[in-house]
Amino acid sequence: MVKVPTKLVTWDEIVEWSMGLAEVIKSSGFRPDVVVAVSRGGYIPARLVCDFMLVDNLISIQSQHWTEAAKVAEKALIKYPYKVDLSGQRALLVDDIVDTGDTLILARDFILSEWKPKELKIAALQWISPVAKIKPDFYYIEVKDWMWFQYPWTRHEDTVQFIKRALSEEGKSKKVWSFEEIRNVFIEYYGIDVGEVYFKLALKSLVDLGFLKEEGGKYFIKV
């Protein structure tokens, strides 16, 4: 039984979705002078939207509260509250997904009060409509049932967190694991397969982090 509904998103899908999002924006008639990527998830979509809309100006803002993949958030904050003068400019704030909407609301309010653009619109590849506190001006996919989208730019980070979470739970009754057993429990929990390269890299990181110990091809849960 899958415990966390997860979809593995490919690079090709990201290009397709970003191109689709750019088309939605274009057909509205909105032409941004500057794109603001919401760091970190909005970086790649924002860069692609700039490409598909032929926009030269790209800056970013780091609004964050998700510390671990697919975990309930604490509090959102603007990490580096620097000042940029956007007066007279039409700005487009771009993120990967609007989940709760908390980080986007914070970024939007900060930009409106501190950077003062003439106009500010919000675009996201995906919008989880039943849980989001805001609806972006532009989106490409409306998600009706919450799930974790495993984007290609967080594949390693998510794999590390996912293994850690599954093993922390399963590790209460089982301390010694083989590579195949960990891989199977991962697929059982999340319903996706990130492939051997990412899987091995994540296990290596978990050994480096001191969460696992490897000996003779077996993994021991240390904490």
SS3 content of the chain, % helix, strand, coil (to 5): 40, 25, 35
Q: Which of residues 43-62 bind ligand ADP (CB under 6 A)?
A: none
Q: Decide: is 66 part of the binding site for ligand ADP (CB under 6 A).
A: yes
Contact pick of 17, 139, 148, 189 for ligand ADP (by CB under 6 A): 148
CA-based end-to-end distance of the chain: 25
The string of DSSP codes covering 9-43 is PPHHHHHHHHHHHHHHHHHHT---SEEEEEETTTH
Instruction: Tell me whether residue 145 or residue 180 sits nearer to ligand ADP (CB atom).
Output: 145
Cα–Cα distance, 43 to 168 (Å, whole number): 31
Q: Decide: is 100 part of the binding site for ligand ADP (CB under 6 A).
A: yes
Q: Decide: is 101 part of the binding site for ligand ADP (CB under 6 A).
A: yes
Q: Decide: is 95 part of the binding site for ligand ADP (CB under 6 A).
A: yes
Residue 115: DSSP 8-state: I
Cβ pair 38, 93 in contact under 8 A: yes
Q: Decide: is 103 part of the binding site for ligand ADP (CB under 6 A).
A: yes
Instruction: Tell me whether residue 43 or residue 179 sits nearer to ligand ADP (CB atom).
Output: 43
Q: Decide: is 136 part of the binding site for ligand ADP (CB under 6 A).
A: no
**SS3 call for 58:** strand
Q: Decide: is 139 part of the binding site for ligand ADP (CB under 6 A).
A: no
Q: What is each CA distance from 173 to 10, 66, 221, in whole angstroms? A: 35, 29, 11
Contact pick of 3, 26, 31, 65 for ligand ADP (by CB under 6 A): 65
Cα–Cα distance, 222 to 168 (Å, whole number): 10
Give min distance, CB of 6 to ligand ADP, in A.
Answer: 8
Instruction: Tell me whether residue 103 or residue 161 sits nearer to ligand ADP (CB atom).
Output: 103
Instruction: Tell me whether residue 25 or residue 97 sits nearer to ligand ADP (CB atom).
Output: 97
Position closest to ligand ADP via CB: 41
Q: Say if residue 80 is exposed, middle or buried (CB neighbours under 10 Å; 0-12, 13-18, 19+).
A: exposed
Q: Torsions phi, psi of 182, nearest 5?
A: -65, -40
Contact pick of 17, 35, 49, 96 for ligand ADP (by CB under 6 A): 96
Q: Decide: is 98 part of the binding site for ligand ADP (CB under 6 A).
A: yes
Give min distance, CB of 175 to ligand ADP, in A.
Answer: 31
Q: Decide: is 149 part of the binding site for ligand ADP (CB under 6 A).
A: yes
Cβ neighbors of 37 (< 8 A, separation 6 or more) are 43, 45, 46, 47, 58, 59, 60, 61, 94, 95
Binding site for ligand ADP (CB under 6 A): 41, 65-66, 73, 95-104, 148-149
